[in-house]
Amino acid sequence: MKVEKTQLEGCFVIEPKIFDDNRGSFFESFNKTVFEKLIGLKIDFVQDNQSISQRGILRGLHIQRGAFAQTKLVRVIQGKVLDVVVDVRKNSKTFGHSFSCVLSGENNKQLFIPKGFLHGFSVLEDNTIFAYKCDNYYSKESEDGVLFNDPELNIDWMLEEEEIVLSEKDKELKTFNKFK
């Protein structure tokens, strides 16, 4: 397993070692002992989530606040997404900065997202299966977020605006300025 630091402290891209042969391929997607040693943190994931989406779906930018804040480990099983995080930790030197990377069923990369980050993804291929682990349970009362097209964040989602499909909830999210 290879761990690559991003420019956002505590956020890592993780690439598994893939074993290919004439039968196909195999890789270990998660090993708690190896994972914790590589990132230098103890993590207790308590919930796994999965979504299936078509090209153009955009989910985010979301966050759980307070006691329900979540650390996540995200990956794509099938298809392709642009995964985006924004550092909203008040005392961070990269507050308001974003990082994005393509996660796909082909590259098998994962993104480790610590507490204090907005998170979202745009779906770049039909029938994309997106999966993630969380270290805390979801709480509707603790959810918050920022509009995907906030001009202050200026995120390129790798989709044309007319392609983008949002949930009603995501259409009502606040601007980054109001979120701060």
The residues annotated with a catalytic role in the active site are 62, 132
Give the per-residue pLDDT at 177.
96
Peptide bond into 61 cis (omega under 30): yes
Give the per-residue pLDDT at 178.
96
Exposed e or buried b for every residue in 71-95, given b needs 16+ CB within 10 A?
bbbbbbeebbbbbbbbbbeeeeebe
Using CA of residue 97, residue 103, residue 109, residue 113, what is the dihedral sign?
positive
11: in domain? no
**Environment class of 46 (CB within 10 Å of its CB; exposed 0-12, middle 13-18, buried 19+):** exposed
What is the tally of structural domains in the chain? 1
Give the per-residue pLDDT at 180.
86
d(CA 81, CA 67): 29
Q: What percent of the chain has pLDDT over 90?
A: 88
33: in domain? no
pLDDT at 128 over 90: yes
98: in domain? yes
What CATH number has the domain bearing residue 140?
2.60.120.10
19: in domain? no
* Residue 106, domain extent: 44-179
Q: For 55-109, how does the pLDDT look when each residue is reduced to its tens digit (9 = 90+)?
A: 999 999 999 999 999 999 999 999 999 999 999 999 999 999 999 999 999 999 9
